[in-house]
């Protein structure tokens, strides 16, 4: 069980979930931070040995759970207690019916690619996106960029977004980037506020990693992985390499709640 950071957001949902689990003969495992959050004293067991992770929260909580269970093959299914809930396949009002179906095995698992970002400071894995942007608000930066072994010059902009198919409907979409349908093994590359008429988003396959170099004389560049700042690239040509990584996140979903149904529900008229 993984829940929203604000306990009051999910209200009585834990009690509702407990009733469904008891009826289905399912044991619930609560990681240590969840036990502390909800005032539980009993040992919760090893979350990495679970058959499935159930999230009560929004897309942020879903991303946190997908990141947590990378490398474990534990799929993550969500009940939406957030605002958008694109990654959750069960509405809050349908918790009982949806989870009863899931506990009975009526769900699919979608494997989704991740991104690896590497600098001289370290290496990180992103479920959603890697953003390279100006460390100074309102200051444009000069970013040298290359795809694979091909140098594509320098692009003045506020930054660049590299997103997985999961992340393509988030910050990438709001900046005019392409939506990547789940099942594609590719990443989207979108510049933020580019100062150029020919700056168009790209979809890049697995074997073409992106390298971004800070070529701005006096402004540092921040590297952000899944919303968390991990390092800065100084103004002396430091760079970051971003490409599709070996790990995959595992998203569980009710069979009828397809990508296109979510897409129309969230972004359609």
Could you read off the pLDDT of 187-196 as tens digits, one per residue? Answer: 999 999 999 8
Question: How far is it, in rounded angstroms, from Cα 120 to Cα 107?
Answer: 41
Residues whose CB falls within 8 Å of the CB of residue 160, separated by 6 or more in sequence, listed in order? 131, 132, 133, 143, 145, 189, 190, 191, 192, 212
Question: Mind telling me the catalytic residues?
Answer: 59
Q: Which residues of the chain have pLDDT under 50?
A: none
Residue 41 has a pLDDT of 66
Q: Does domain 114-246 have CATH number 3.40.50.2300?
A: no
| Strand pairing class (108-119; 210-214) | unpaired
Distances (CA, A) of 129 to 18, 141, 231: 34, 20, 15
Same CATH topology for 2-107+254-267 and 114-246?
A: no
| Strand pairing class (108-119; 239-253) | antiparallel
Q: The tokens 């829940």 sit on which residue?
A: 3
Q: Does domain 2-107+254-267 have CATH number 3.40.50.10330?
A: yes
Domain boundary assignment for the chain? 2-107+254-267, 114-246
Question: How far is it, in rounded angstroms, from Cα 261 to Cα 206?
Answer: 27
Q: Give the angle subtended at the CA of 187 by the CAs of 184 and 192, to the nearest 5°.
A: 140
Question: How far is it, in rounded angstroms, from Cα 163 to Cα 243?
Answer: 10
> The whole model's pTM is what?
0.92
CA 50 to centroid of chain Cα atoms:
21
- pLDDT tens string 73-108: 999 999 999 988 999 999 999 999 999 999 999 999
Residue 43 has a pLDDT of 63
């Amino acid at each position: 069980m993984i829940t929203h950071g604000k306990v009051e957001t999910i209200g009585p949902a834990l009690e509702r979930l407990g009733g469904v689990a008891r009826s289905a003969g399912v044991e619930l495992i609560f990681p240590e931070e969840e036990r502390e959050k909800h005032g539980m004293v009993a040992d919760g067991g090893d979350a990495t040995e679970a058959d499935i992770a159930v999230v009560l929260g929004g897309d942020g909580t879903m991303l946190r759970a997908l990141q947590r269970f990378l490398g474990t093959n534990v799929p993550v299914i969500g009940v939406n207690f957030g605002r958008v809930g694109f990654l959750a396949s069960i509405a809050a009002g349908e918790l009982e019916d949806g989870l009863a179906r899931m506990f009975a095995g009526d769900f699919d698992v979608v494997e989704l690619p991740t991104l690896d970002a590497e600098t001289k400071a370290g290496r990180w894995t992103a479920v959603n996106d890697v953003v390279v942007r100006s460390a100074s608000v309102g200051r444009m930066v000069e970013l040298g960029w290359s795809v694979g072994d091909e140098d594509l010059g320098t692009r003045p902009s506020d930054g660049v977004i590299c997103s997985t198919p999961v992340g393509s409907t988030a910050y990438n979409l709001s900046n005019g980037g392409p939506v990547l349908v789940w099942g594609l093994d590719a990443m989207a590359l979108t510049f933020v506020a580019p100062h150029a008429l020919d700056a168009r988003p790209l979809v890049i396959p697995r074997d073409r990693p992106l390298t971004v170099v800070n070529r701005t004389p006096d402004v540092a560049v921040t590297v952000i992985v899944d919303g968390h700042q991990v390092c800065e690239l100084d103004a002396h040509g430091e760079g970051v390499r971003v490409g599709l990584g070996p790990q995959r996140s595992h998203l569980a979903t009710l069979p009828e709640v397809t990508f296109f149904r979510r897409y129309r529900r969230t972004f359609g008229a």
